[in-house]
């Protein structure tokens, strides 16, 4: 299965890159051609919200652009949506995973047919113990998420705000669970973020936009910077083992 092949569920830096909040086929193609591993589509009332048909057009265009050269996964992002809505939308769009980005309870939704990523938005300066108390129950259910996502905290919005996550806290979390880092990442700071938090992967949305629209040049710059940073982690890890 492509999900396992990409190593999403492994603790440590797997080098995964997700471009989220996509709406247009040309931007999905730009992300795929730049080397992104996951394409994210938002299904919550927000500026980047899409329909299942829009998402499918983007996914089909991106996969056609890169052919069979590598795996490319699609992710539907939901915020406190009913289980039936998640399943129906995921089926229509053809998603590989779903991302739960609201206040969903551990184990929700029961019987979900797709692997899930569970997002958390810790408040600033929160202790690891408090964050762990929120996260741990989600990994103690019958079918836990394959990874979690640490996003920047915002008092009124669920995601895509550009609010920066706490990288030190994210690093501590990454030692215990497979973790993708989001929140305020840009082409200019993603290398520093990867070096600090050492996530399994990174997730970007507003950081690759200009005037509220995805920008192919910024997408390419972000993916290149992230790949270089993950490669540097691998080099340093190899040197430490020798």
Q: Write the CB contacts of 177 (distance below 8 Å, at least 6 apart in sequence).
A: 11, 135, 139, 147, 148
Within 10 Å of residue 191's Cβ, how many Cβ atoms? 16
What is the structure's pLDDT at 5?
58
Look at phi and psi of residue 162 and say left if phi exceeds 0, alpha if psi is from -120 to 50, else beta.
left
Give CA separation, 232 vs 13, 69, 99, 114, 167, in Å.
Answer: 11, 24, 28, 32, 18
Give CA separation, 50 vs 44, 162, 220, in Å.
Answer: 8, 19, 23
Place of tokens 């999403």: 8
What is the structure's pLDDT at 8?
72
CB 198 within 8 A of CB 160: no
Instruction: List 147's β-bridge partners, or say none.
Output: 117
Q: Report CA dihedral (77, 63, 36, 106) to the nearest 10 degrees.
A: 30
Q: How do strand 147-150 and strand 116-120 relate by DSSP bridges?
A: parallel
What predicted TM-score, i.e. pTM, was given to this entire model? 0.91
Cα(52)–Cα(29) distance, rounded to whole angstroms? 17
Place of tokens 């030190």: 168
What is the structure's pLDDT at 11?
62
Per-residue tokens: 239? 């040197």
Report which DSSP code applies to 139: G
What is the structure's pLDDT at 64?
96
All domains in the chain, ordered by first residue: 2-241 (3.20.20.70)
CA atoms within 13 A on the CB side of 132: 11
Average pLDDT per consecutive 10 residues, the chain (242 residues; last block may be shorter): 64 82 98 98 94 98 91 95 96 97 90 92 82 91 89 63 86 93 97 96 96 97 97 70 48
Q: Strands, E, within 63-104: which ranges?
A: 73-78, 97-100
């Amino acid at each position: 299965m492509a999900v396992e092949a990409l190593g999403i569920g492994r603790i440590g830096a797997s080098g995964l890159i997700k471009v989220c909040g996509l709406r247009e086929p040309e931007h999905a193609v730009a992300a795929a051609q730049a080397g992104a591993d996951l394409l994210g589509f938002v299904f919550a009332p927000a500026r980047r919200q899409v329909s299942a048909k829009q998402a499918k057009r983007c996914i089909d265009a991106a996969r056609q652009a890169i052919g069979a050269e590598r795996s490319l996964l699609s992710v539907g992002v939901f915020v406190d949506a009913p289980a039936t809505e998640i399943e129906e939308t995921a089926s229509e769009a053809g998603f590989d995973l779903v991302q739960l980005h609201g206040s969903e309870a551990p184990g929700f939704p029961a019987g979900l047919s797709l692997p899930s990523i569970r997002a958390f938005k810790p408040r600033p300066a929160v202790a690891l113990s408090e964050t762990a108390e929120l996260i741990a129950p989600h990994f103690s259910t019958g079918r836990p998420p394959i990874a979690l996502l640490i996003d920047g905290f915002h008092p009124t919005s669920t995601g895509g705000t550009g609010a920066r996550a706490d990288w030190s806290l994210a690093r501590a979390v990454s030692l215990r669970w497979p973790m993708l880092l989001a929140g305020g990442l840009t082409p200019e700071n993603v290398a520093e973020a990867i070096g600090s938090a050492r996530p399994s992967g990174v997730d970007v949305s507003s950081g690759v936009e200009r005037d509220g629209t995805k920008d192919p040049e910024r997408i390419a710059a972000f993916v290149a910077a992230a790949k270089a940073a993950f490669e540097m982690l691998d080099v340093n890890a190899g040197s430490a083992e020798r």
